[in-house]
Amino acid sequence: MTLLCLAAIWLVGFGLLRWMFPQPLGWSLHNVWLFSVGIGMGAGVASCLYFLTLVLAGPSSALLAWSAGAAGAIALALGLIARKRGDPLDWAEGPRIPWYPIALLALAIALALAMFLGAVAYNPHGDEGAWSIWNLRARFLFRAGGFWRDAFSSDLSWTHPDYPLLLPALVALCWKLSRQESTAAPIAIAFLFSFGTAGLLAGTLGALRGKIYALLAATILLGTASFVALSAALYGDVPLSFYILAAIAMLCLQDRHPDNLRFSALAGLMAGFAAWTRNDGLIFVGALIAARIIALLRFRDRKLPGPQLLRLALGLAPPLAIVVFFKLRVAGPSDWSSVPAATILKNFADPGRWIQMVEGLIVILFNFGRFLIPIALTLAIYWYLVRFRIEAPDRAALATAVLALSFTLGVQLLLDILYVNNLPLEAITSFERILLQLWPAALLAFFLASGPLQLAAPQIQAKASKEKKAKKTVRRAAEYRCGNPDSMPGV
């Protein structure tokens, strides 16, 4: 029943997206992309709806079921009645794909699946940070009835009562609708977000650059063992990475389809859901807006496209309003509010902390993702061989991505320096998590900038080699006929 609820939430997301980008149903890149984005869309909408119902009408299950049912019916009806409009997302032209990138992706999917299932079977409640924060809050929302605000009590300050509610509200909604508290809900949500992120990355790169880049990026993402492990630990970082990727992907698609402003609106909505997932998402929202304005000013002849930015703001407004309301009226005190200004200044002026942070980053650069060969080195070799070639229509989008990710990372690290007490411990426990939040979007930017990649298909190679061999045999036979017996093979 829990899984059915989640499937319904996913369908609601798909319905809304199909209403925004309607194309015929069937097996296509466009629909795979819609299904991948649909996970985040459904999760975000359902979570916001649950929170609003809770705030406005209390924890009544009947009312919740009615409102969820009505929203679901509306979303599905919108998706079904939508008529074909605009161009579908289709595979960009690219080189012929040999069999081995596909086999590698299949292997990465199988390994990621095995790793995820193994981890959640061993640890169905997730890691301590997951159950003691996210799932604990979901339990309060589900079990406490009218006292659901106890979840944000100052007596529970160690549970970070200012953390936003996308995940706990979504889990609690699944439990409410299915009337049972099961670990299947958080596990299935984590599963959908991690594989949805890979689907979204592959779908977007497939439409922007072609199949080979889509295959490579998805293989690297699912081959990032710590990404899969973090997802199975049931933390909020992988859903956040999904929304960061989605927001940037929409802006990349916007620049390729300048007439369809719905991409900008969806980018805003996804950024808003990022803020509703974790506090780091709020940093990303600020970084994205600043990055987009700078990129458009730089690459659009210093003219800001008002309609695009307006759509971005319109998409961002509803989830951001919910986040602001939550922070002002519901959430408990922030961890940061307890740190005195003198400590912040002292931390800022301490060069040792900056050195510790750089040391931590260098270590992470080589350990990141638990690859056998450091991924930074692999990508550096790839860049050396293939180089970057950025097409003119992608420049603003790529600049937006690079700036937004850099600003987000910079602010997160600065906050660590200013506020975190035990920085070496933070470097060990959190730096990789912070980088993983940005990793899918960084892969999108990397492969969007990648130069043309030519992989000779083995079939073609084999055919060419067979033809060459046949020509050689004919030539030698001719030479033999002309009286040169040494030229005949085996003579």
Partner 1 sequence: MRRTPAFGVAAFEERFNEFRQTVQPHTVYGYLSDSRPNDPSALAEFHLAQYTLAPAIVKPSSSENLVIVNYHGKNLDMGLLRANRLLPFRDFGNGVALCRRTRR
Contact positions toward partner 1, by CB under 8 A? Answer: 124-125, 128, 131-132, 135-136, 139-140, 143-148, 150-151, 153, 155-156, 158-159
Nearer to partner 1 (CB atom), residue 181 or residue 394:
181
Category of 487 on φ-ψ map: left (φ > 0), alpha (ψ -120 to 50) or beta: alpha
Question: Measured from the CB of residue 99, what is the shortest distance to partner 1 in angstroms?
Answer: 44
Nearer to partner 1 (CB atom), residue 189 or residue 247:
189
Question: Measured from the CB of residue 184, what is the shortest distance to partner 1 in angstroms?
Answer: 15
Query: Which residue type sits at 63?
Result: L
Question: Measured from the CB of residue 287, what is the shortest distance to partner 1 in angstroms?
Answer: 32
Nearer to partner 1 (CB atom), residue 95 or residue 129:
129
Question: Measured from the CB of residue 123, what is the shortest distance to partner 1 in angstroms?
Answer: 8
End-to-end Cα spacing for the chain: 76
Question: Measured from the CB of residue 322, what is the shortest distance to partner 1 in angstroms?
Answer: 23
Question: Measured from the CB of residue 281, what is the shortest distance to partner 1 in angstroms?
Answer: 24
Nearer to partner 1 (CB atom), residue 90 or residue 128:
128
Residue 450, beta-bridge partner list = 388
Question: Measured from the CB of residue 83, what is the shortest distance to partner 1 in angstroms?
Answer: 48
The CA distances from residue 47 to 68, 147, 175, 188, 243, in Å, are: 10, 19, 12, 15, 14
Contact 418, 344 (CB under 8 A): yes
Question: Measured from the CB of residue 236, what is the shortest distance to partner 1 in angstroms?
Answer: 16
Nearer to partner 1 (CB atom), residue 135 or residue 194:
135
C-alpha dihedral over 167, 168, 169, 172, to 10 degrees? 120
Nearer to partner 1 (CB atom), residue 59 or residue 203:
59
Question: Measured from the CB of residue 43, what is the shortest distance to partner 1 in angstroms?
Answer: 22
The CA distances from residue 125 to 132, 183, 233, in Å, are: 10, 6, 8
Q: Which residue, chain included where needed, has tokens 């939040």? A: 437
How many beta carbons lie within 10 A of that of residue 421, not counting itself?
9
The CA distances from residue 217 to 34, 367, 436, 475, in Å, are: 18, 19, 14, 45
Nearer to partner 1 (CB atom), residue 183 or residue 260:
183
Nearer to partner 1 (CB atom), residue 183 or residue 378:
183
Query: Which residue type sits at 299?
Result: F
CA distance 477 to 57: 91
Q: Which residue, chain included where needed, has tokens 């009544």? A: 60
Enumerate residues 6+ apart whose C-beta is below 8 A from 16. 38, 41, 42, 45, 75, 78, 79
CA distance 263 to 70: 26
Nearest to 206 by CA among 22, 445, 33: 33
Nearer to partner 1 (CB atom), residue 163 or residue 195:
163
Nearer to partner 1 (CB atom), residue 135 or residue 224:
135
SS3 state of residue 490: coil
Nearer to partner 1 (CB atom), residue 235 or residue 368:
235
Nearer to partner 1 (CB atom), residue 198 or residue 234:
234
CA distance 50 to 126: 23
Question: Measured from the CB of residue 353, what is the shortest distance to partner 1 in angstroms?
Answer: 25
User: Which burial class, exposed, middle or buried, applies to 158 when counting CB atoms under 10 A from its CB (0-12, 13-18, 19+)?
Assistant: exposed
- Report the largest interatomic distance among the alpha carbons of the chain, rounded to a whole angstrom: 102
Question: Measured from the CB of residue 50, what is the shortest distance to partner 1 in angstroms?
Answer: 17
For 277, half-sphere exposure in the C-beta direction (CA atoms, 13 angstrom radius) is 31
Residue 388, beta-bridge partner list = 450
Question: Measured from the CB of residue 356, what is the shortest distance to partner 1 in angstroms?
Answer: 23
CA distance 187 to 141: 18
